[in-house]
Structure 1
Amino acid sequence: MPGNRVVVYQGPGSVSVETIDYPKLEIPDEVATGFGVKRKAPHAAILKLVSTNICGSDQHMVRGRTTAPVGQTLGHEITGEVVEAGDDVLFVKEGDVCSVPFNIACGRCRMCDEGKTGICLNVNPARAGAAYGYVDMGGWIGGQAEYVMVPYADFNLLKFPDRDQALEKILDLTMLSDIFPTGYHGAYTAGVTTGSTVYVAGAGPVGLAAAHAAQCLGASVVIVGDMVADRLTQARSFGCETVDLSQGTPLPDLIEGILGEPEVDAAVDAVGFEARGHGKGASEAPATVLNDIMNVARAGAGLGIPGLYVTGDPGGVDENAQVGQIGVRLGLGWAKSHYFVTGQCPVKQYNRQLMNLILSDKAQIAKAVNATVITLDDAPTGYQQFDQGAAKKYVIDPHSSIAA
């Protein structure tokens, strides 16, 4: 049996590609022990990776800003070909090319029944919800790899209807595992609809995906804010307005300069807990973005918060931030009757519809996020460049499956 090469966290700022055992049709020990269930997983499938992406959430771990241990395997944005299916897998078969939601979900618990697959109750004994290759998420092996095991395969896998078409559009379809649904979730839950004006904080890949999703939802103007010039240029490349927060000009003034008024109909936080204050050289201030979006969202507006916030941050700016307690002006949001939607995106609520948009050429998410293909061996370099603010979404091609 072959081994399995996978990206592994080696400490702050460092990842490597290591060889581990080839996957088995088994769930992790901590899940089996924690729930008192059988380890054998005839409901699972093994996929040969076609593509797998570097995510900003991975970058938080690699920066040492979570409690991830050295040796943590990485990667939760997975697209692959089924090469083995367990005896209880009925509806996907070897050769099928599928998208894998980053949420691991059993399809059998109360949360899954309600469509809340980001907080499945049966896949992580530590808390509701699990993901591949992520700290405190159940011990599931990461998918920045050659092969990966997917449990509850009939429920979790989204099969592409035509293999050749899927491979032709793989740079768009690879975004279905996480950032396109996550960005869409941020925009949709913020209430973006026909004619909306929208502010998206952050021009990283999730922010760009949220901006493109807002366009798909019919927004009239999408404004993206960031402090990295290349990322703002990328946002403008597909029709967004932008504001440069490195200059220190108050955000409402910047928005008024575009819209003629200092408020928007909906706002999205695509930055998360490593937010910084405004202006060149601004220090970290983790509540900045949440306070910004409350400030510029009109009364009664929705705030979509797909940006990651954690309960354990060793590098937090103070003792409160280190446990996820930050200085949010909740009174402002309360006074303006805002509503907030937080947490992992339940990918399965959106991925099929977004797949259809891609296949019918109604969405160009790869262009929006500047999808850039690298090899598995180049993953450490990809992490370094991403951390330096590269305006790219790195797509790892472990088996040279992606056409030039």
Structure 2
Amino acid sequence: MTSVFKSTQLPILILCKVFGLINLSYTFESTGLLVQNNTNTTQYALLEIIRMCVLIMFTYIVYCRGFYYIVYFRLVKFWIVIIASRISELWIIKLINGIIEFDQKLALLSTAFMVRRRSLSKKRWIIIAISLFLYLVGYEVCALNLWHLKTLDITTIPVLFFSMPYITDFVVIITVSFYLNNLNYRFQTLNDFWKCLPSGLIPTRGEWTQPEIVMLVESIRLLHAKLSEILKIFNLSYGLLLLGFFVCSFIDFIYIFYLMIYHELASPKVSFTQNIIKYLPLHMFTFQIIVFMMSIIVAVSWIKEEKNRIISYLRLCRISKLPVDTKLQVKMFLNQITISDFDEITAFGFFNINLNLVIAILILLITGLASLIQMRNHPIILTMVNNTLSFYKIWVLN
């Protein structure tokens, strides 16, 4: 599992380095852990400066295009991702190393039991990455065909870089989903180990002795505790990034949805089908936001389900009839899970990421859209809409 994780982790690591989410100097050492390379410090420092200069130059070019709210929002959203990642950089490295160390401990247990260690293969991750890349290219082709740009030169590249569908969103969703899925598979593997135990944790002649049962239960308990600790590290690694991602995605969705309603009301002579075709990229982007947010929420819910599945196994045991040593391990395991239930994956502590969040987002969307529609004639709303339309007009041919 460690070798699979490291081989699939490498492209993710390169992607994060290219976009500035982590320092370029981090490499895998002989022990298998990710550490900062101190041998070529000058070279890495130079590459860091070059990368940062390119990003700042792109930002400056777009910033100087004029005062447009939508442009400034895109710039802020991009730099939120970069800054949040760099603030949590050390925790991200601890997360990666924590998973590697967990796999090393799991490998020691796996030698004694024929349990298939679950993981998503590198081939499947490549298919997912290629699919997202093809969607990104398809979106840009669709947008450029429907919205013909007035000017197309070298200065257009930075504008497209910061525009929809936001390439940083793809980096965030690939990275976060990768670690969430890896954590989910490791909880599944622990549950598979538990299934190796005899029914009711009762010793069976010729197969299981009491010391063997106690040893395996204790090993699973300790590995479960280690994995729960890694979940806490994930919160510290990506909690701030997820907070920015969810908030910005929500603002994006509600504003774009309002603009589509505004255009529908402002141009009653244009047919519904023509509006759908003309603003197809916007519809694609709103659907993208929903898919990305739901992908994270569902992945987190899978982890919680697998993490707590062990409770059902423990409750099937008749603790009163178990030997003292086994009974002690089961009670310790139940107490451990009860305590770890409070450690949910959160957006930097502001809200828990689970299926309840879907209902909360829907309520906020309905409330927000209703408020925007009621305030459609308010000077601030009119200024924002006109400012966005003016940006659209200077770039796109009618």
Query: Fold-level match, TM-score > 0.5?
Result: no
What is the TM-score of this pair, normalised by structure 2? 0.21
Hey, which of these two has a bigger chunk of strand by percent?
1
Hey, which of these two has a bigger chunk of helix by percent?
2
Which of 1 and 2 has greater Rg?
2
What is the TM-score of this pair, normalised by structure 1? 0.20
